[in-house]
Structure 1
């Protein structure tokens, strides 16, 4: 899943994802909505607990703490997104390769998971 930390649709989508159980989600930080997205993505990437920092920001509006580290992984995410022509967030990619742009509903996620081989 490709998400930008400043994407309002992504924030709502993250809240929906919390209602789905027994699913592993791989997140690609994809800061494409301006310079502040890049700053937040780097703070999240450099956080001691990346997953908690991401959830705190996306679901609870807790600002990521200032942090620094090697953020070349975030740059690679952006390159990968451009390579696969990801032009909006959120964009989901299921195990069967199906790509779904936009914040879809839980019922649609479960439907796609049922057909994705996961």
Structure 2
């Protein structure tokens, strides 16, 4: 399966480009959508595929929802595109708008699920080990993480996938914020390429430099993959699954408050300063 880091499709060009990729086929039926979802689930077993929509705004391209994240696939499932789709005619970011919509839906569902009517109807206490989705206390070993700007006053924990475009955008923004100490736990939910990258970072003698090489470009000095790195990655991924982290980046404040998805630098700083005692 082939990957590309970013998809930028001008609306005028999209018809010709994607018609060639999809052969001018009509939107797939519900059954065909389900078949594509099943195929992608097999390819990415660590990623829960929530839905597939091949009646998408760009002909020949299917939208794939994975939790609160979105990526794209051709109708035959032979190619996957991880990144943003931009409509240059309307000057809109189709991907960002969809992710915002998914986040709003998740927030509404959480409020409904926690509403007083349900609480009254369900008197069964929740399992003691279950943490609320909105608060996560990270107790993973720091050796499983990559530390950026060590000692900076503002503290941020991030679960990130090195094949995730929004993670790349986040760290590009954070490059201009040395006042934020970032504890980055690599996970791999976007396929084998993500796993390889994460293992190489975790096996490096200088994990920060290795991660920066992936985010900003440059030479990565690493011994390749190693058993210790694989074990750290597996532990990070198990923690993520246990706490319902299905998309990246997952941002966690020092008080455990969470934000699923990219946040602009200025808003992120304000959010970090709002830590509750």
> Same fold by TM-score, threshold 0.5 exceeded?
yes
Distance 1:51 1:21 in 2: 14
Q: How does 1:11-30 map to 2 (within 5 A)?
A: 11-30=168-187
TM-superposed CA distance for 1:12, in Å, is 1.2
Residue 243 (structure 2) pairs with residue 77 (structure 1): no
Q: How does 1:20-59 map to 2 (within 5 A)?
A: 20-59=177-216
TM-superposed CA distance for 1:68, in Å, is 2.9
1:43·1:65 contact (CA, 8 Å) conserved in 2?
Answer: yes
1:60 to 204, 217, 228: 217
In the other structure, the counterpart of 1:106 is 265
State the 4+ residue runs in structure 1 displaced beyond 3 angstroms.
61-66
More displaced 10-residue stretch of structure 1: 6-15 or 61-70:
61-70
Listed as ranges, the gaps of 5+ residues in structure 1 are none
What number of residue pairs does the alignment pair up? 118
**Which is strand-richer, 1 or 2?**
2
1:40·1:64 contact (CA, 8 Å) conserved in 2?
Answer: no
TM-superposed CA distance for 1:21, in Å, is 2.2
Whichever of the two has the greater Rg, that structure is 2
TM-superposed CA distance for 1:22, in Å, is 2.1
Distance 2:195 2:207 in 1: 15
Superposition RMSD on alpha carbons, in Å? 1.8
2:205·2:222 contact (CA, 8 Å) conserved in 1?
Answer: no
Q: Counterpart of 1:38 in 2: which secondary structure?
A: helix
TM-superposed CA distance for 1:64, in Å, is 6.6
Q: Counterpart of 2:268 in 1: which secondary structure?
A: helix
Distance 1:116 1:20 in 2: 18
Q: Deviations over 1:13-65 (max 9, x none)?
A: 11101111222111110111001111111011111211001011112265675
Distance 1:106 1:39 in 2: 28
More displaced 10-residue stretch of structure 1: 56-65 or 2-11:
56-65
